[in-house]
Structure 1
Amino acid sequence: AGTSFSSLIRWSMDNPGAKFLDPVTYNAVVTSHALVMIFFFVMPVMIGGFGNWLIPLMLQVADMQFPRLNAFSFWVLPGSLYLMLMSNIVESGVGAGWTIYPPLSTYSYHGVCMDLAILSLHLAGISSIFSSINFMVTISNMRSVGGHLLALFPWSIKVTSFLLLTTLPVLAGGLTMLLTDRHFNTS
C-alpha cells in the first residue's frame, strides 16, 4: 500500500501537466504514504519482524517471553492498516500531512476520514507498545549470557523498545487531544 502511494506521488510529479491527482487528493496520498510507511512498515517490519526473528536466535531461546502478547500485537496491525486505508477512501482522504498539524486536521477540514486515521494510529501504537514490552522483558529475562556478552542487535532492540515505550504514549495523548478538539471543541 505504501509503495503504491509512493508510485502515485512519483507519477504525479513526473507528469505535472497530466492533472492525474488534484491538490486535495495529492495531499491525502502523501499523508497516507507517510503514515503507512512509518507505522505499518518501519516499526512493525523492521523492528518487530526482524526482532521476532533474530532475538530468539541470538538469545538461544525457543520463543519470546510472551508469545500470546506477541501474537496479539501482530494481529492488531491488519485491522489498523485497514482503517488507515479506509481513511484515504472515505470522503476526500486525510490530507493533513504526516505530522497531522491541528490547523489542517481540525473538524472543519476533515470529517470521518480523520477519525479513522486517529483510531488507526492508536491501534498501531498499542501494537508497538505491546511488542516493545515483549522485547524488553525477553532480552532482560531470557538471555543465557551476561549483559556484557550480548550482541549489539539485542541491545539496539532493547533501547529502541525503551524509546518507543516512552514516546508512543505521548503520541497517543496528542492524538486523543486532537480527537477531543475535533469533537468536543476543547481547544
Structure 2
Amino acid sequence: MPLTTTARGWDMVSSIHIDTLNEAIVIGQTTPDGFSQLGDDDVSVSADFEPWQISPDGDGKILTLDMDLNDLTIDYGSKVKKFAKATARVDVRLDLLPLEQDTAKCAAMPKQTMLLVLDTDGDHKTLPARVTGVEITGGSGIMDEGYAGAALQSWLQDNLVRFTHIFAAITLYRTVEHGEDFA
C-alpha cells in the first residue's frame, strides 16, 4: 500500500525522523537548564529541565514537546512542596516566515524562508506556547499540577527565544521508512 501525505498548502515539505531531532537536542545541549517563575496567587514554581523532546503528537503548525522536569519546587508562601520528577506537555505554534535577503546578491536565488515560533496569531487570543498538561510523579494534587502548568506557561511566553534551538541545521536526507514517526 502506498504511503500518502499532504503538504498542507506549503510549496516544499521536508521530513526528518523525530529520533534524529531529539538526538540533536540532547547532543547540542541546547535546552535551558530550568525555569523559575512567580505564578498565579504569588505561588513561585521552579524546576530543572531534562532535554526537551519532540513528540509525534504534533500536527501541521503545532509542534508538541515533552518536557521532563526534575526537582520541581512549588512555594505557596506558607508551605513549600518538592517533587523529584514531573512531565509537562507543551504545544508550540509555528509559522513559516521570510528571511531578510540582500536582493542584489540573491536575485537569482529562490526566496528563502525560516520556520519560527509564532509569537501571535494576529488576534492575540492564542498563545504561541501552551502547556496542555502536567503530571507530577508521586503524591501531588490537581492544585500542584495546575500551578506548575500555569507558571511554566508564563515562563514559556516570556522566553520564546529558547525554542530556536530545535530548528538548528540537521541533515534531512535520510529516507523515511514506511510506518516510522516523522515530523
TM-score, normalised to structure 1, is 0.22
The structure with the greater share of residues assigned to strand is 2
TM-score, normalised to structure 2, is 0.23
